[in-house]
Amino acid sequence: MSILTVNLKHLYQRRGLWLVYVFLGLFAFAGVVAPLEHPGAGKRHYIGLVALAFAIGLLVAVLPIEVLTKPFSYCLPGHRKVVRRFIFWVGVIANLLGSLLFLGYPGLNSGQLVLVVCSAFCAGLIFYWLGVGLAFGVRNSVAWIGLWPFVILGGGFFGLHIVIERAIVGNPFGVILVGVLSSVLAWLWLGDARLARRYCGVPGIGFFDAWNRDKVQKYRQVRAAKKWDKLKKHPSPWVETFFLGRMNRYDHVSTGRYIWGGLYTTFGIALSQLSQWKAAFLSVFSALVLVCFLGYMGPGRNILFIMPGLMFAQMRLPVYSSMLISGGRKERYRCAITLVITEAVLITVLATIVAALSLPLAAIMPDITLRDITFAFHAMNIELFFVPLLMIPIVFTIQLIYYRKPVVMMVLIMLLFMVLFFGTSILWREQLSAVINPMYIVSPVVLSWVLFTVVLRYICMRRCLVGQGRTN
């Protein structure tokens, strides 16, 4: 078995990628259906699979990068040279299949169709190499895949997809030339030994590593070591005095000391940084920019109240631990519920304040017209302030139950996100909000907190809190 074959096996042996294939399959299906329903030429419908090559290149290049970070991989004979062969094979096969869509392009004879298919193949390679270049050129580049839907929407709004399709059909020789040159340059660049040395032994965040607490912890430790000079002034003396003073009021093995210690480790650095005027100014400025951006998004502006749930999905409650710590079951339970309540209240207040900033801005922000489409600024629906109080306990409940199954946890949290997003964007209208009974809001919030409290107590008091988290 060749080394290339072994590397290609990563594409199907890694179960986490199966979820990625589902999303890529949905985009590919949409890219095939669009020209079948709208077979007109020059109408952007044939460009879907070509643009999808960018995401494929980014995701495919992350796999060999994760292998290159392991020093043991350099002990394998010929492994360093197989990286570009692996990337090239995937790129050629993926874009060869994607370019076949242009065989149905209307208004062309057989000779022109062959030329246009070659042009589409090279155009896909150009996008593919852009994704590969982003993966190798930017640290933790897999996080940028989340911006891909916005890039597609932005490109569609400004008509870039129409320009690309017309370039593929109208100037095939130019596209083929650029595709061949970019492939040659990519082959030479990927064969440079310095590219491998850049990643050897360097930790990073790869596929689904954001849900792997051990890898995230190691990555944070490395970053903290590099940025120690910036953090050596934190926490500030007043922050340390505040928390340590309250911890010292309790005995060394008391629950109060454990709770204040958890609050200290969670909020100490953040409070210390916000006490500096530069960080405070940057936070206020970022809030204003966020309000201005979301105000022009129409119904999607209500995402402001849903984002906190995704932010806390990465937080680790002081429940499970693989180390011998001072806190017992009762201490962990009380500390965890105190942290969640504190964070939920704080983030709800902050989100409400940010939403309140949009009220005076709604009277002065101008309408923006782009391509004969006018975007009006709308104030946030402050009535949705309860959404963080509803989402945060559900997110932590999912996190506690599926602590050892990060993929399942991610899928459930994303489903919750989509349900709340479409529920607040589509169903929450002025006509509906006027007739909604307050009990329809209070009841789900209370039930979510009751569910979280019951699950947290059961896990803290009955489940094994180390190892695999199984029942005693």
**What does each of the 472 residues of the chain score in pLDDT, given as a tens digit?**
566 666 667 676 666 677 777 877 887 887 777 777 766 665 667 777 888 888 888 888 887 777 777 766 666 666 667 788 888 888 898 888 888 888 877 777 778 888 888 998 998 899 899 888 888 877 666 666 666 665 666 565 566 777 788 888 888 888 899 989 999 998 888 887 777 677 776 666 666 555 566 666 666 666 555 554 555 566 677 888 888 888 888 887 788 888 888 888 888 877 877 777 777 788 888 888 888 888 877 767 778 888 877 777 777 788 887 776 777 888 888 889 999 999 899 999 988 888 888 888 887 887 777 666 677 888 887 878 888 898 899 999 998 888 878 778 888 888 888 887 776 666 555 545 555 567 777 888 999 999 999 999 999 888 888 754 443 3
What is the C-alpha R_g of the chain?
A: 26
The pLDDT assigned to 431 comes to: 47
Reading the block at residue 148, the tokens are: 């891909």
Alpha-carbon distance of 162 to 155, in angstroms, equals 9
8 A C-beta contact, residue 334 and residue 231: no
User: pLDDT at position 447, please?
Assistant: 93
| Gap between the Cα atoms of 173 and 6, Å rounded | 37
pLDDT the model gives residue 215: 64
| Best CA proximity match to 303, nearest among 12, 295, 51 | 295
Do residues 116 and 102 lie in contact, with contact meaning Cβ atoms separated by under 8 Å?
yes
Pair 347, 388: CB distance under 8 Å: yes
Query: Whole-angstrom Cα distance, residue 346 to residue 354?
Result: 12
pLDDT at position 449: 93
Q: What is the pTM of this model?
A: 0.60
Alpha carbon of 215 to those of 70, 204, 209, 211: distances in Å? 13, 8, 6, 9
Tokens 């009535």 -> residue: 383
Comparing CA positions, the residue from 60, 205, 181, 28 lying closest to residue 128 is 60
Task: State residue 453's pLDDT score.
Answer: 94
